[in-house]
Amino acid sequence: MSDQFTHEIERRRTFAIISHPDAGKTTLTEKLIYHGGVIHETGEVKGKAGSKAATSDWMALEQQRGISITSSVIQFDYKGLRINLLDTPGHKDFSEDTYRTLVAADAAVMLIDVAKGVEERTKKLYEVCRYRNIPIFTFINKCDREGKVPLELIDEIEQTLKMNCYPMTMPIGLGGQFHGIYHRKNKEIMLYHPKHEDKPMEIIPVSGLDDPKWQELISPQVIEQAKEEIALVDGTQGEFSQQAFLDGKISPLTWGSAKQNFGVDTFLDIFIEHAPGPAPRKSKAGEVKPLDKTFTGFVFKIQANMDRRHRDRVAFVRIVSGQFERGMKVNHVRLGRELRLSHSNQFVAQERETVDVAYAGDIVGVNDSGNFQIGDAITTGKTVEFDPIPKFAPELFARLSVPDAMKRQKLQKGLKQISEEGAVQLFIDPVIGPQDPIIGVVGELQFEVLIYRLQDEYGLECRLNRLPYSVARWPRDMDGKAVQQLKGNFDLYRDLNDQPVLLLNQQWDLNWAQKENPDVDFAVSIAVARTDKPTYVL
């Protein structure tokens, strides 16, 4: 078992794609899994009637709108490696889902539109990667369209993100003059032909920039500028440092067009050469290493109703160490009891495949009857406690109601299930109880998705009544009596973990509460790793 066990873990690679909306993330995802043999035909991501929906977009609303609002997990093999691709939501209102997904990734691919450069959401997601010390690859997309001058774009990335880039490939022209890319290390010209799509890329070996083949292959109006840019990069870049990449000091950079499926396989080859394997994870008792024989994992995502025929609920587990086997018994650390993981799957959109064995680095979906919360740890050992995954503080609030009072209990159940996914946050009035909950979200689209899902998945027509709150804060380490003594202009509620939370109308109210209660810490986020031990983010 030992040699096979080590081999399987060492060939795992797990990464997420980050980008600003409309940079082409879902299209790149489709092309990557196409090269991995998961699908044999790629879909156009337009969201219009009659067009194909993206393979990674499983929810009906995603397929209708052509946007990604949930994260999905796709596994494929490529040249001997087992790759776990974490597709993240493209919309800014679902940043929290993206953050949780990055917690489960060992590397990230930063996708940048050649015409737009570094955009706002890209910057925010980059900062999350830096905070978590995740190595970053960079893919410049849409090179078949007009865009920024390559060297100026590289400089923009470096100056804006304070990160050095190492161009592995360079473009030969852009837009209407896009001829292909040049692989600097391999000294190869990869020729671009419009409508390239699923045809093999034409690769021409050259001896260098002075090879006469350049003149034969590239038009005169493009060749001089392209060679000048490549020569400048060659003259300023030394040898690529793998350690600098793993330390987050440098990003391997490639160019291409995901829509035309050009440069994607080149990126994949560079990715498998340099991407790190499964990383150890910090716990309260020290590092948990992938090759440890004890199985450990943590839940980073929960999704209800992926199969509406069975009203199922799936907890997505990132395996941190050891080997997973279907049917194994594990210790659920937060609950302090043993569970059997009888039903385990891996997914491409809503399509699922039973998993009998998985290893550190893999993502496994296990059926959940309500036992799991985001951040939960499971292990075959006695206990393990990882750093918890905090929630984002909501900024928009509303009450939901149903015209039919007989369906109120069904609404409560639907809201509880969806809130346990982390899609929305639920706040309960300690006096009235759960029959009149308040919903908190980070962005407006989350309300729209919530209303849609309650109607589509639970058959509920709901009314949304907006509330004036804009700030939520958790008073740190306070029991019920102490919370009741707090001074200020706020309303007191309880979250799903029965922790007290203050809802305030505006920042001024928070400032006043802090002034009136100087000895109290008001946390912007809270995560419960164990039922008796909440962790606050101040």
pLDDT tens per residue, range 97-142: 778 889 999 999 999 999 999 998 889 889 889 888 999 999 999 9
Q: Which helix (H) or strand (E) holds 509?
A: helix 507-516
Write down the residue that tokens 């759960």 correspond to: 434
Predicted pLDDT at 110: 96
Looking at 140-154, 430-444, 491-505, which range is the least confident one? 430-444
pLDDT tens per residue, range 224-248: 999 999 999 999 998 999 999 999 9
Average pLDDT (277-284) is: 93
- Classified as helix, coil or strand, 93 is helix
Predicted pLDDT at 487: 92
CATH architecture of structural domain 2-173+238-274: 3-Layer(aba) Sandwich (3.40)
Average pLDDT (505-511) is: 95
Strand blocks (E) in 370-424:
377-379, 396-401
Write down the residue that tokens 């060659």 correspond to: 234
Average pLDDT (472-492) is: 86
Cα distance between residue 521 and residue 482, in whole Å? 13
Higher local confidence (pLDDT), 499 or 11:
11
* Six-digit token string for 16: 């997420």
Cα separation values, 336 from 377, 378, 530, 534, Å: 10, 10, 9, 16
Task: Select the CATH number that applies to the domain covering 281-379 from these four: 2.40.30.10, 3.40.630.30, 3.50.50.60, 2.40.280.10.
Answer: 2.40.30.10
Predicted pLDDT at 131: 85
Predicted pLDDT at 44: 42
Predicted pLDDT at 204: 96
Residues 6+ apart with CB under 8 A from 141: 23, 24, 28, 111, 112, 113, 114, 256, 257, 258
Region class of 298: left (phi > 0), else alpha (psi between -120 and 50), else beta? beta
pLDDT at 521 over 50: yes
Predicted pLDDT at 538: 43
Residue 337 has a CB neighbour count (10 Å cut-off) of 9
pLDDT at 485 over 90: no
pLDDT at 50 over 50: no
How high is the mean pLDDT of the chain? 86
At residue 43 the predicted structure's pLDDT band, cuts being 50, 70 and 90, is low
Predicted pLDDT at 68: 45
Predicted pLDDT at 94: 60
At residue 51 the predicted structure's pLDDT band, cuts being 50, 70 and 90, is very low
Predicted pLDDT at 60: 54
Predicted pLDDT at 45: 38
Predicted pLDDT at 141: 98
pLDDT tens per residue, range 281-295: 998 888 999 999 999
pLDDT tens per residue, range 160-175: 999 999 999 999 999 9
Average pLDDT (397-417) is: 88
Spatial CA neighbour of 63 closest among 94, 26, 96, 99: 26
At residue 66 the predicted structure's pLDDT band, cuts being 50, 70 and 90, is very low
What DSSP assignment string belongs to 313-357? Answer: EEEEEEEEESEEETT-EEEETTTTEEEE---EEEEETTEEEE-SE
Cα distance between residue 171 and residue 189, in whole Å? 10
Average pLDDT (476-499) is: 85
pLDDT at 529 over 70: no
pLDDT at 64 over 80: no
The domain locations on the chain are 2-173+238-274, 281-379, 396-537
Task: Select the CATH number that applies to the domain covering 396-537 from these four: 3.30.70.3280, 3.40.50.880, 3.40.50.20, 3.40.50.970.
Answer: 3.30.70.3280
Percentage of residues in the chain with pLDDT exceeding 90? 54
pLDDT at 527 over 70: no
Cα distance between residue 524 and residue 105, in whole Å? 24
Average pLDDT (359-373) is: 92
pLDDT at 472 over 70: yes
pLDDT at 48 over 60: no
Q: Which helix (H) or strand (E) holds 115?
A: none
- Classified as helix, coil or strand, 510 is helix
Predicted pLDDT at 526: 66
Predicted pLDDT at 108: 96
* Six-digit token string for 536: 């606050």
Residues 6+ apart with CB under 8 A from 100: 71, 300, 301, 374, 389, 422
Residues 6+ apart with CB under 8 A from 537: 390, 523, 524, 525, 526, 527
Tell me the longest C-alpha to C-alpha distance in the chain.
83
Predicted pLDDT at 307: 63
Predicted pLDDT at 93: 58
CB 142 within 8 A of CB 259: yes
Residue 391, CB-side half-sphere exposure with 13 Å CA sphere: 29
pLDDT tens per residue, range 409-428: 899 888 988 888 888 899 99
Spatial CA neighbour of 290 closest among 311, 249, 319: 319
Cα distance between residue 37 and residue 457, in whole Å? 32
* Six-digit token string for 501: 């939370």
pLDDT at 380 over 60: yes
pLDDT at 69 over 50: no
* Six-digit token string for 474: 């958790």
Write down the residue that tokens 């990667």 correspond to: 129
pLDDT at 56 over 60: no
Percentage of residues in the chain with pLDDT exceeding 70? 87
pLDDT at 72 over 80: no
Which phi and psi (to 5°) does residue 36 adopt?
Answer: -85, 0
pLDDT tens per residue, range 295-344: 999 999 888 776 666 567 889 999 999 999 999 999 999 999 999 998 88
